[in-house]
Structure 1
Amino acid sequence: MDGIVQSPDEPEIRANELTGTIAGSSVQAGSVTGGVHITTGRPASLPTPAQLPAPGLFANRHDELAELRALSEGTGLVVVNGPGGVGKTTLALAWLHEVKADYDAQLFVDLRGFSGAEPLPPDEPLGRFLRALGAGAESTPTGVDEQAALFRSLTSGRRLIVMLDNAVSAAQVRPLLPGAGPSLVVVTSRRRLSGLVVDGARFLDVPPLGTQGALELLERLIGPDRIGAEREQARSLVALCGTLPLAVCASGARLAARRRWPIARAVAELDDEARRLAALRAGEDDISVNAVFNASYQALDDPHARAYRLLSVHPGPDLGLAAAASLIDRGAEAARELLQGLVEASLLLEDADERYRFHDLVRLHARDKAREPGAEPDRAAAFARLADWYLTTAVAADLALLPGRWHLGPRYGAVRREDVFPDRREAVDWLEREHQNLSAVARAAHDGGLHAMAWQLCEAMWPLFVQRKHYRSWIRMHELGRDAAAACGDRRAEARMLEGLGTAHLNLRDTAAARPCFEAALELERATGHRLGEASALEGLGNAMLATGDPSGAAELFGAARDVHAALDRPRGVALMRRHLGEALSAAGRHDAAIETLTDVLATFTELDEPYHRARTLTCLGRARLGAGRLDEAAHALRGALEISRAAGAPHVEADALLDLAVVAARRGDATAERRDLERALAIYARLGSPQTEAVRRRLAETPPAPPAPDRGRR
């Protein structure tokens, strides 16, 4: 204190004013004579801080609790991450209540990072903590740095629990870290707070509960009797909640307050995607999933908010970096930064191999934001870019795998497959990985009036279906492609889709469904004067005849199709029809003629560098040699088919070769090899859902067991 100052108006009168900086207690007085003694009362003793709130309802987090225990053994700072409503705070509190007896005191603060209001500045929680630890107002500095230093001094060497809930940034957390010693700090946040790595933090990502955990939580809310009476409906309810604890609590609270409601009524409410988020609330929005997601969304800057909205346009289950870049119209590096920002904000999930996806409820929220007034042009343009990227990449994969196949889609003339897929296996693996996304984009394109895009995507997926089968999807996609082609009045495309649909039915050995497809296609091809398409329809009808035991009728149709390809100077088409002719010859018992034809065909496909058709031809050649009784030559061809099909990623051809190798082994009397090959073939057919599965299973059951191996220890 600088002291008492003189009044400028009355020099003889001293003003009773204080100036300068004052710390602690002060006394103002006029004239003082004699000694001054100031006595203050002793401060009241404060209770030991025990600030942890009760955890509330808690269910089935055994794995996460075990991981928290393991993490805390190696560090005093644990960050619990996850999206809003996933139960981070409840989990952290349940664990801290479990271990609090090992600590001297507990400090807790909600940092309001995503509360809709401004996050707490560090001086507010620091002031609370210092007061709880006994620091008086006179000894508490005003600056954040000095407060943080005092907090570290008061906590150094002590065993404290400090829980910092709902943090928004590492900068908000760092001043609140206690001094060196055995304290345990737990931070919860919707963001990753990776900046705390330098402070020794270890991280736990909290996922949704899973079905069993969500059912356990629902049971605690509404009781076991109601769950037992409608168990399947309860499972549907938690699935519609995405097993997110906040959503389960919202639905459970509504049911708990309405004892007469069946669970089925709540399921019906949530089944409508347009109303689901609005229905996931209880009370006067005391529990509201939408409000929680809104708080996370409002914390995003404009570029991340735009990316969040546009990513929701993707109709499939997940997406890679390139697809995301096409949606948000940014280069790969810029897109990666935006995606990582959304991952950090717990609004997007990142899986292995840089794949990203939304939680189901977060996706609905993002879609709602993307549908707000004025956003429609952005959504439409984003989907058009996405569909265009998928079509271009699928066309490149098709060209890589079946380079000689004829096409209708105009994109084939504008794509160089070497620029996208220098490796064939990479191409088929990409089609497999993106299978559900391609199907979803085609469906969304058709529903949105982009009919040409829909059938062209279907056309480009052909190698996936012939090599990996996916029978039901094969049928659904070609039915969609047929409808899309008809919707845009493209009769040639409609015929092309019908030919693919007929082939799918043939692969399922349903000739009754296949034949009308090929007949309708043939009519359309002839009506439009499309000779190449006519040959494809004839080929399909020939295969249907071969499947029903009419090899001579099939050969006639294959011959007609071959002549079309020859007239159009298409050696690949000629070779394909000759392979079918070889199959028909062998089916008619003319194995030597079949072997001669198929040997020539093999040379052609080798020259054309088409591994898939080489493997198919070797299988046919092996069967013809088997029919002719040439077992060694048959085995040689079939082993060649086996090797090529494995390298090409064509498991059905691999299984076919194994099945025929089992016949070779049986004729040689090798029961061990026969059983081995049948078991391997069965495993592949079962995985693919092939119609041959049951027949192979029966054959395996009828196969005598392999003789026991000789005991080499006995003489």
Structure 2
Amino acid sequence: MDAEIANLARAGAATVVSLATTGLVNWATAGFGKVRELMARNRQDEPGGTEPPGPDLEQLVRELTQAHEAGDQGAVEDLRAQLTSGLAELLHARPEHGPAAVRELVQEGREACAHPALVPITLHRVNHDPLNAEMEDYWSRCRAAGVAAVMLLVGPRGSGRRTARRRFTGAHLDSFRGPVLTYDLGRTANGTHADPATVLDTWLHQLDAPPQDRSGDLTAKSRAFREACARAHRTTGPVVVILENAGTRAQIEPLLPGTPGSVALITCGQAPARLDGAPDFRKFRVPPLQADHGVELLGRVSELAVAPERLRPIALSVGGSPWGLRMAAASLHSTDLEVLDDVVGLLAHRHSRQELLHMDHDDHLYTHFDLAYGELGPKAARLYRLLGLLPGGRVHLDTLYALLPAWSAAEVRFALRELWDRSVVERPDREACRLEPLVHDHALSRAEQDEEDGSREDLLDRFFAYILEFAERGEAALSLRWLHAPQYVAPLRDRAAGTPTYEEGAAEQARAEGEFARRRDTLVPAVLLAHATGRHRHAWLLCQALWSFYLRTRSHAEWIESHRAGLAAAQECGDPLAVARMHFQLGFAHLDRWSLDEDDPRLAREQFDKALRLVRAQGHGEAQGRGEAERRTESSVLEAMGLRALKLKHAQHALDCFAQAEAALQGVEHPRGRALLIFHTARAYTVLNRHNDADRELVRARQEFERLPYGPDRFNVAKTWLRQAEDRMACGQPDAALSHLDAADEGMGQLAAAYQQAEVRLLRGRLHAQRADRQAARADWESARDLFEQSNSARANEVQALLDELDELDEPDELGEPDELGELDER
């Protein structure tokens, strides 16, 4: 019991210190109040009432906050020890309720810090009280008016934009209970600004929008994003969007939630042109620090024990820039007092001031970073260099463990903690870290200087081996798709032999997709870095392994960007089949996005044509012609060309493509591929009004899906019933269509495929409405609406609109003739 009490006391004290030193003092104090209340339960009969013994913990929290703001780390540690002792005393006094109360405190503390972007983490707070007062006033007026609040914090780098933003959000954590979406719009791994479509792909996934709602170009994704924000607002609270280093209106406008009550906080060097898409917005210029505040900040950071007036000339020379003040303080740190006057003299003249502070260009900030780097311990410095070698984005602890096999997990965590304590790395969550772009550049430069060539290459080789193995195993969990020359997964036949049940497979796929999503901001940079460092084979193999994740999540921007680099890398390798596979996958990305504004129909055809020419030009490796790899690739390309023709309503051309695709598989064991080609062929027959042929092919496809050697594909079996129903409706056989829809509904229900079952019931409701069966139509549409809501899909609104129109018809006989309801069906 004593050991448990000691551990709980330490955990509770650490939680309170974390809360109080990150600006969450109200949460810390409230948490202690709850602890005391829980500990006092059922103790009414004790002498002295319900107040448990022990020190005044709330007072300790207040003192802790004051000590932190004063920069007195020694006092912070002393108070941490007092908190630990005080909690242990309370736990001994309340053994029945104490442990549960402290565990609840720790859990709530973790939840309070769940969104680190909201927490005002800063060692020395910059005083921008007038600015914060203006932000508070604007936000209050937006809430009163029922509009979204869009705040642009404008100022040069280092002016305190982020600190002002964190201070505002930290003061309103109780209000910001909805999703918090963050993105740095600054430079990406290839030197460009972030693509808004990439940001939306990430955010739609975080908002749990179904993949079907994420399709399309930037305009469609932005519309889906706003709809997802509206749904999140209704269920959890207003959305908070945080955009760092914004550049243009074109970047910002698609990313604004627009929901009344939502908040967008945007930091930028200068305000873009008017944001026409925002219901309301306000520009806040982050002002220079007043002289007194500049002197205070300079004194705290430099730790010089001198009178404030001796520092005032330096503060005035820097002009109130917090970044400049910190850099000046770094120049003064541990300086002999006799040198102080020399520094003042250097700051008095422009050229010597620039040389000392190096504030005029990003590259010159390295002087400041060098000072911080020089104070790191050996392991933290090594970890810093390693992070510089890796691509930008989050780096997860499991990756660091794999790259540093000679280190224990504790050594990795201690080194990362040192980087965190010195504000070198950011911690977007407990299992990851990241470097800001400028810091990453500096870490890379230090790695190039301080790491031997062999060491750098060895670390990169280990990283790309690790990320490729992760991607290939994840791809194998998501799909039984054939892979060309995989490095880390078994051949297709061996994987198919061990295929799990549908339920087991669905759980494994959800886990794999979640792991991909956790690393998604590293995936594209990894492909680009592999190509840039001459690891061309790793680059295209990694693209091959990202196919299913990008397809399932409709992440078109990342898909296209990564595969352009993957295509160039494959061309460097001299493997024609690898080049053909990259052309095919890049073309399919354009096919799946299918934006006329982005010229996707033409771009898809260009890529497919190039892939087909390459694969057909390959030599003959078997008695019947090319080998299995070439035949599979040719069939895949022809299948994609047929799907493109169907989108363009060129059904006869689609039939020709599907027939050629099936012929290309001669001699290849690929039963699921053949079943899919039969399924696609039936769709083309329906477009050509060859309904008997379509019906026959759908029966064939269903039989093929049911007797696959590794078990029936029940999802596609249900899809054949749905497609058959659509074909029967097209040829005027509603009774047969209803029977097929019932079978599709049963199949999707057994698979718990809520979105697809909603589609089935939406279509069946339309059919009932055309047959003037109002009651059945209402039942199906209400169920479809609920299933779409369960899937978090905006299509619930579409179904609700149909129900509203149905309500306007007072009596069943007012439904009219089926032709009249055909207009409802078209909508």
**TM-score class, shorter:** 0.5 to 0.7
| Number of the residue aligned with 1:594 | 694
Deviations 1:413-440 (A, max 9, x none): 5898779998343233333333333233
Note if 1:335 corresponds to 2:308: no
Change (3 A) 1:685 1:592: farther
- Equivalent residue for 1:233, pick from 154, 159, 179: 154
| Number of the residue aligned with 2:571 | 486
Task: Tell me how far 1:555 sits from its aligned partner.
Answer: 0.8
Mapped to 2, the partners of 1:698 and 1:608 lie a distance apart of 37
Deviations 1:164-199 (A, max 9, x none): 1478x98xx689999x999xxxxxxxxxxxxxx9xx
Mapped to 2, the partners of 1:77 and 1:294 lie a distance apart of 44
SS of structure 2 residue aligned to 1:357: strand
| Number of the residue aligned with 1:398 | 475
Mapped to 2, the partners of 1:287 and 1:223 lie a distance apart of 30
| Number of the residue aligned with 2:675 | 575
SS of structure 2 residue aligned to 1:553: helix
CA contact (8 A) 1:313 1:383 kept: yes
Mapped to 1, the partners of 2:83 and 2:681 lie a distance apart of 81
SS of structure 2 residue aligned to 1:281: helix
Question: Partner letter of residue 64 of structure 1?
Answer: V
Note if 1:631 corresponds to 2:592: no
Mapped to 2, the partners of 1:226 and 1:349 lie a distance apart of 25
| Number of the residue aligned with 2:66 | 93
Task: Tell me how far 1:400 sits from its aligned partner.
Answer: 2.7
Note if 1:281 corresponds to 2:355: no
Deviations 1:480-527 (A, max 9, x none): 322322343333222212222222222233433322221222122223
Normalized per residue, the structure richer in helix is 2
Note if 1:517 corresponds to 2:607: yes
CA contact (8 A) 2:428 2:434 kept: no
Change (3 A) 1:111 1:67: closer
| Unmatched runs of 5 consecutive residues or more in structure 1 | 1-58, 81-87, 97-107, 113-163, 183-196, 258-275, 688-692, 711-715
Deviations 1:511-559 (A, max 9, x none): 3332222122212222335333222221111111111112222111100
Mapped to 2, the partners of 1:280 and 1:484 lie a distance apart of 45
Task: Tell me how far 1:570 sits from its aligned partner.
Answer: 3.0
Note the 1:110-125 alignment, pairs <5 A: 110=72
Mapped to 2, the partners of 1:226 and 1:701 lie a distance apart of 39
Deviations 1:94-146 (A, max 9, x none): 899xxxxxxxxxxx99457xxxxxxxxxxxxxxxxxxxxxxxxxxxxxxxxxx
- Equivalent residue for 1:426, pick from 511, 520, 528: 511
- Equivalent residue for 2:582, pick from 497, 501, 512: 497
- Structure with greater Cα Rg: 1
Mapped to 1, the partners of 2:545 and 2:521 lie a distance apart of 14
| Number of the residue aligned with 2:662 | 562
Question: Partner letter of residue 25 of structure 2?
Answer: E
Count of aligned residue pairs for this structure pair: 535
Question: Partner letter of residue 402 of structure 1?
Answer: S
Mapped to 2, the partners of 1:502 and 1:381 lie a distance apart of 34
Mapped to 2, the partners of 1:366 and 1:483 lie a distance apart of 28
CA contact (8 A) 1:281 1:287 kept: no
| Number of the residue aligned with 2:684 | 584
Question: Partner letter of residue 93 of structure 1?
Answer: Q
TM-score of the superposed pair, with normalisation by structure 2? 0.52
Mapped to 1, the partners of 2:386 and 2:499 lie a distance apart of 27
Structure ranking higher on relative contact order (CA contacts 8 Å, 6+ apart): 2
Task: Tell me how far 1:564 sits from its aligned partner.
Answer: 0.8
CA contact (8 A) 1:328 1:335 kept: no
Question: Partner letter of residue 461 of structure 2?
Answer: A
Question: Partner letter of residue 642 of structure 1?
Answer: M
- Equivalent residue for 1:65, pick from 23, 26, 48: 26
Change (3 A) 1:68 1:363: farther
Mapped to 2, the partners of 1:575 and 1:613 lie a distance apart of 10
CA contact (8 A) 2:540 2:578 kept: yes
| Number of the residue aligned with 1:193 | none
Note the 1:166-565 alignment, pairs <5 A: 219-220=128-129, 231-234=152-155, 281-285=326-330, 302-315=378-391, 317-330=393-406, 334-335=408-409, 338-339=412-413, 342-343=416-417, 346-347=420-421, 355-358=431-434, 360=436, 364=440, 367=444, 369-374=446-451, 377-413=454-490, 423-510=508-595, 511-529=601-619, 530-565=630-665
CA contact (8 A) 1:77 1:202 kept: no
CA contact (8 A) 1:214 1:238 kept: no
Change (3 A) 1:77 1:330: farther
Change (3 A) 1:110 1:429: closer
Mapped to 2, the partners of 1:111 and 1:428 lie a distance apart of 43
Task: Tell me how far 1:463 sits from its aligned partner.
Answer: 1.6
CA contact (8 A) 2:757 2:784 kept: no
CA contact (8 A) 2:392 2:525 kept: yes
| Number of the residue aligned with 1:262 | none
SS of structure 2 residue aligned to 1:567: coil
Mapped to 1, the partners of 2:660 and 2:759 lie a distance apart of 28
Mapped to 1, the partners of 2:130 and 2:328 lie a distance apart of 15
CA contact (8 A) 1:538 1:557 kept: yes
RMSD (CA atoms): 5.7
Task: Tell me how far 1:560 sits from its aligned partner.
Answer: 0.8
Mapped to 2, the partners of 1:680 and 1:473 lie a distance apart of 32
CA contact (8 A) 1:495 1:521 kept: yes
| Number of the residue aligned with 1:139 | none
Change (3 A) 1:201 1:663: closer
| Unmatched runs of 5 consecutive residues or more in structure 2 | 1-19, 37-53, 91-101, 139-150, 168-243, 245-266, 268-284, 292-320, 334-364, 596-600, 620-629, 811-827
Mapped to 1, the partners of 2:130 and 2:604 lie a distance apart of 53
Mapped to 2, the partners of 1:389 and 1:419 lie a distance apart of 24
Mapped to 2, the partners of 1:683 and 1:702 lie a distance apart of 15
Task: Tell me how far 1:615 sits from its aligned partner.
Answer: 2.3
CA contact (8 A) 2:636 2:661 kept: yes
Mapped to 1, the partners of 2:549 and 2:67 lie a distance apart of 49
Change (3 A) 1:487 1:549: same
Change (3 A) 1:175 1:281: closer
CA contact (8 A) 1:659 1:678 kept: yes
SS of structure 2 residue aligned to 1:329: coil
CA contact (8 A) 2:401 2:412 kept: no
TM-score of the superposed pair, with normalisation by structure 1? 0.59
SS of structure 1 residue aligned to 2:480: coil
Task: Tell me how far 1:279 sits from its aligned partner.
Answer: 6.2
Change (3 A) 1:211 1:406: closer
Mapped to 2, the partners of 1:176 and 1:542 lie a distance apart of 69
| Number of the residue aligned with 2:175 | none
CA contact (8 A) 1:78 1:204 kept: no
Deviations 1:282-339 (A, max 9, x none): 53437999999889877765445433442454435434443222222358xx235522
